[in-house]
Structures are given as structure tokens and as C-alpha cells.
Amino acid sequence: MADDMKTMDGAHILCTALKAQGVEYMFGIVGIPVTEIAMAAQELGIRYIGMRNEQAASYGASIIGYMTRKPAVCLVVSGPGLVHALAGMSNAMENCWPMIVIGGSSEQDQEGMDAFQECPQVDIARPFSKYTARPNKTERIPFYVEKAVRFSTFGRPGPVYLDFPGNMINQNVLEKNISPFVVCPSPPVTLADPEKVRDAADLLYYAQKPLVIIGKGAAYSQAENSVRELVEGCKLPFLPTPMGKGVLPDDHPLCVAPARSKALQEADVIVLLGARLNWILHFGLPPRFNAKVKIIQIDIHAEQMGNNVQSAFSLVGDCSAIVQQINEVYGKMPGRFAFSTKSPWWKTLTSKVQANQQSVQQMIDDKSVPMNYFAAYDEIRSLLPKDCIIVSEGANTMDISRTMILNSLPRHRLDAGTYGTMGVGLGFVVAAAAWCKDHTPNKKVVSIQGDSAFGFSGMELETICRYKLPVIMIIMNNNGIYNGLDGESWESLQDMDLPLSLPPSCLTVDAHYERMIEAFGGKGYFVRTAAELKSSLTTALNSKDQISLINVMINPQAQRKPQDFFWLTKSKM
């Protein structure tokens, strides 16, 4: 066939365009009309991971975007498939992570005829994405793919949606008529106004009680080197947000996370690095924050500046680049600015850190059976490699692990994030493990979930085993959501009308979740004591290719330690 008569179908045009943009991963569930897209992706070298639920697929694609700054694809069928994926789209939108959702849809010549799974998909996706489109011609697919990648990664990152009717996926068109496969460049690195940078540096220089808050935006921008130079060079106390953990190590001598409430309440100048003053940081308002605090806010998103609390200085741009601008200002001063670690502020923080650590130690030392969270986490923390990726979700499970399970490297803590989404865990695990298997095969991926969180997408255990992803699952099983029942209380209710008598937070007592992974060829452990936990985790860590699930029984009434303020603005029931 002459070159000018060669044809290509829509599925191959789409996947060729994705491959040209550097897309490595596609997560999804095949069916009418997208099966051909998944097959074309594999043919062209895009790694396809078939999931068991579109929600988990969308979560997996989104976390690849956070870890790598490059969007992955979530592939879904029409109608209900897209509706299920909205969970991951909304989560990515709130967390500012790039991802591309590709949905199949009913054929164009059947619109308005009640076609199979006919649905206004572009309209449905629009509130949860930065950009939505349905290509008007098969030949124009590369144009829309480049634009989708650009919208997803430029400025404040986020999800995008592309809709493909079934007839377009299978339509063959002449190659000579296909739009060029133009590659989207890397997002531009934007700097802040140099004069504002100098003024902000001057404000920080004269602070009496400075504090640096490191958000996941700093992690996403790969700002670890510039942040380290600022914090260590100036001897500034810092506080990481949950997914800002690891930008600097949690065990760093300048980290004041154990004194979180005291640091927020009394700081007079706060440098906010890629973090928002939302519910996680109590909106920046009293009594959690000093009413007179001055905030130096660094963020890629101009509209975020001054939200809830007016910033003293708003530095819009790339977090890493702007912190480096501040470092350059200090580097030009006659003497290097360094806040004294012997100051009253440091003494206050150090005292609070020590007091809180002593309080936690009391719970660590409690070795009663069933275990409390702190005693269990102490065993886990002592064994985990410093470079492992931690996926954590749950209520008490996640909140307590934020203080007990330390991170040493950036983008190695994956949890519910800004949206507080439960159910993300196993999608994150699959994606992180697939990426590690391809890029850093010796790195461990460890999931720590509550029993409730595990239940959202537990069948992804089959996905993990099918793709031979060597992960370690740890379920902190307290028989419920927040808390459950003990065996005696459970038995006392079994002859009653359970929908009326069983507490809403209760789940099955002593459920043997470890048996689920054994059904797919993995290894399960059921543990009640600290010694059993240590033994099973040691074995799991030393088993190179083994997929393991450790079901850890936790006292149903075990809680977190008393706090000055609840994590949420309103206390839980």
C-alpha cells in the first residue's frame, strides 16, 4: 500500500498520541467500547493495569501524577464506568494532581436514541476536571491529547477528561490527514516578584517565633533541596503536613511535629510552602493560630493567595524556585542568617516536643492484648526500611500513623490527602508498586489501613497478586469505623434485630482478612501480640517476591492520645 493510503484507527491514534506525551501507565477496566484502546496501549508500550473497580483505577492514575509529575491514564467504559471514576477525579482535583481520564461513550449516530449507557459524560465530568473535550474528528485526536496534557500539568495541576464515542475508536482514517503528534513541553518554572521575595525574606529575618509549614505542594514541586537549604541554613523549625512528610526527614532535629499545636498557636511568622489554609491547618484562624501571625505564602495558584487569612506576602509560582530565590537573598547578606536554637522560642518548642513524646511513650509501653495503636506502630516503625513508600488510610489508623510512622524521603507518604478520601489505599498501592517494580525494584511498598478503609476496595488484592506486585499489607483491625465491639459485646447482640441494634460504626469482630490474600496466592498472617507482629513483619520484609497481608488485631476502644485540638474543626462523635 502506498504511504499516502496508509490508515490508522482511532484507538491507535489515541495511544500513539499518549505515548508521544510520555504517558507510561494506564489503569482501567475494559468493556464496550474501550477494549481496543487498552490493547493498542499495550501494543505501543504503555503499561496497562486492569483493576477491579473504576474508583480504584482512578485513584491509581492520580497517584502516579503526584509521584512523577506526569499524568497517567484512567480508562473507563461509558456511563456507569465514568460515574465510578468521578471519585478519583474529584480527589485529584482537590489534591491538585495531574491525570487523564479517557471514557468511551455511545456512538455518535445513536445520540438521543437511548443508546447503550448513553450519558452526558462531558457535562458530568466538567465540575471535576480542568478540561473536558470530545474530539470532533478522529484525525484531530492528537490535538486534544496534547491540550489535555497541557491543562493537566500547567499551573495548578489537575485531572482532565477526554470522551471517545465507540465509532471513533474503531474508525480508520488516512495517516496523512492525522494532526501532528506535537509533544507538550514541561510546565514553565515561574518565579515570584524579586522585590516581594526580598521583603518576605526581611520579614522572616526579624521574626521572633518563625515556623515553616511544608505542604504536599512542596513535595510535588520536588522542592526538597531548596527547602533543606532554607531550613538548615536558617535553623528554622518546620512542621510537615501529612503528605509534606519526607520533604525533610521526620526525625530531623528541626522538625517540631510533636509540638504541632504549640507551634501553630504561637508562631508570629509562618512560611507556607505549597500548603493551603484549609481544614487540615484549621483555616489559619484563632484559636489554632496566633491572631497576629504574618504569613508568607508560596503557591502555584494565584487564586489561593489570601484564602481564609490575608497573607503578608503572596509569592506566586513554583515552590522550589521561589524558595531558592529566598535562599539567594540570604546568601547575599554579609553574615548568613541563622535563627538561634537557644532562643526562648526553640526552648518552648523543645519542651513541648519532649512532653508529648513522653505521653506517647506511655502508650507504647502498654503491651496489653489486644494491642493499642501506639504499641503496634512502635513495632512496625522499628522494622520498616527508611526508603519504603507508605500508603496509609483510615480514621485512627491514618491519623496516628502520621505521628508514629516516620518518613525520610519526599513523595513516600500517600494518604487520604486534602479531600480526606477513604478508599484510595489499594488503588495507590497498585500504582505505587507497579511504578516501583519498573523503576526501583528493591523499594518496598507498605500499606497500613484500617479494616474499614480496606473494605472499600479489598478485591484489588486480586489485582496485586495478578500483576505480582510484592507489597506488604497491614490491616489495623479494630472491628469498626473509629471503634468497634469486643467479642463479648458482639455475641450479646446476635439474637437481636441487627439493623436496629448493631452500632453504625461496628464491623465484623475478629474478621480474618488475611485469608482473602491466600485465595489469590499471597501469604496471610493473623496477629494479636507485639511479638507476633514483629515476627510476621520481619518474615514479610525478608520475603523478596512474596505478597503479604498482616491482620493486626487492635483493641476496639483504643484511641489516639489526648490533644489540645482535634484534627478536624468539629470534634467527632
Label residue 565 by pLDDT band (50, 70, 90): very low
- Cell (9 digits) for 142: 492528537
The SS3 of residue 238 is strand
Is the pLDDT at 571 greater than 50, yes or no?
no
User: Is the preceding omega at residue 194 within 30 degrees of 0, hence cis?
Assistant: no
Dihedral sign for Cα atoms in the order 267, 268, 269, 274:
positive
Greatest CA separation for the chain: 81
* Cβ neighbour number for residue 528 with a 10 Å cutoff: 15
Q: Are 453 and 394 in contact (CB under 8 A)?
A: yes
Q: Are 504 and 479 in contact (CB under 8 A)?
A: no
Residues 448, 405: contact at Cβ < 8 Å? yes
The length of the chain is: 573
Model-wide pTM > 0.85: yes
Instruction: Report the alpha-carbon distance of residue 281 to residue 269 in Å, rounded.
Output: 15
User: pLDDT by residue (tens digit) across 44-73?
Assistant: 999 999 999 999 999 999 999 999 999 999
Q: Is 520 exposed, middle or buried (0-12, 13-18, 19+ CB in 10 A)?
A: middle
Give which of 430, 482, 423 is closest to 454, Cα–Cα: 423
Cell of 505: 460504626
The answer to whether residue 563 scores a pLDDT higher than 50 is: no
Q: Residue 447 corresponds to which amino acid?
A: S
Confidence (pLDDT) at 364: 92
Please tell me the distance from the alpha carbon of residue 400 to that of residue 411, in angstroms, as a whole number.
19
pLDDT 10s digits, 503-559: 999 999 999 999 999 999 999 999 999 999 999 999 999 998 899 999 999 999 887
- On whether the CB atoms of residues 97 and 88 are closer than 8 A, the answer is no
Interatomic CA distance for residues 213 and 422, integer angstroms = 25
Grid coordinates of 97: 494532581
Q: What is the phi-psi region of residue 507: left when phi exceeds 0, alpha when psi lies from -120 to 50, beta otherwise? A: beta
Cβ neighbors of 203 (< 8 A, separation 6 or more) are 269, 294, 296, 312, 313
pLDDT at 1: 62
Q: pLDDT by residue (tens digit) across 277-318?
A: 999 999 999 999 999 999 999 999 999 999 999 999 999 999
Say how many C-beta atoms besides its own lie within 10 A of residue 299's C-beta: 27
Higher pLDDT, 254 or 358: 254
Q: What Å distances lie between residue 59 and 56, 70, 86, 172, 432, CA to CA?
A: 5, 15, 10, 32, 11
Domain-by-domain residue ranges, the chain? Answer: 7-177, 194-351, 366-553
SS3 state at 106:
coil
Residue 483 is placed in which grid cell?
A: 471503634
The top-level CATH class assigned to 7-177 is alpha beta
Report, as an integer, the average pLDDT of 230-242.
96
As given in the structure block, the three cell numbers for residue 324 are: 531558592
Give residue 415's pLDDT. 94
The least confident of 109-118, 237-246, 442-451 is 109-118
pLDDT of residue 113: 66
**How much is the average pLDDT of 377-396?**
95
What is the fold, at CATH topology level, of the domain defined by 194-351? Rossmann fold (3.40.50)
Cβ 158 vs Cβ 98: under 8 Å: yes
- Compute CA distances 554 → 475, 480, 486, whole Å: 10, 10, 10
* Other C-beta atoms lying within 10 Å of the C-beta of residue 360: 18
Judge if the upstream peptide bond of residue 33 is cis by omega within 30 degrees of 0: yes
Other beta carbons less than 10 A from residue 492's beta carbon: 11
Contacts of 168 (CB under 8 A, 6+ apart): 10, 108, 135, 138, 141
- Given this structure, which CATH class describes domain 366-553? alpha beta
Output the pLDDT for position 336: 67
> pLDDT at residue 115 above 80?
no
Report DSSP letters for 182-233, one per residue. PPPPPPP-----HHHHHHHHHHHHT-SSEEEEE-HHHHHTT-HHHHHHHHHH
**pLDDT score at 561:** 56
User: 390, 446 in Cβ contact below 8 A?
Assistant: yes
Query: Is residue 549 classed as helix, strand or coil in its secondary structure?
Result: strand
117 pLDDT more than 80: no
Mean pLDDT of the chain: 93
| Helix/strand/coil for 510 | coil
Helix 80-95 crosses helix 54-68 at what angle (to 10 degrees)? 30
Q: The C-alpha cell of 290 is what?
A: 496566633
State percent of the chain over pLDDT 70.
Answer: 96
Q: Do domains 7-177 and 194-351 have the same CATH topology?
A: yes
pLDDT for 397? 92
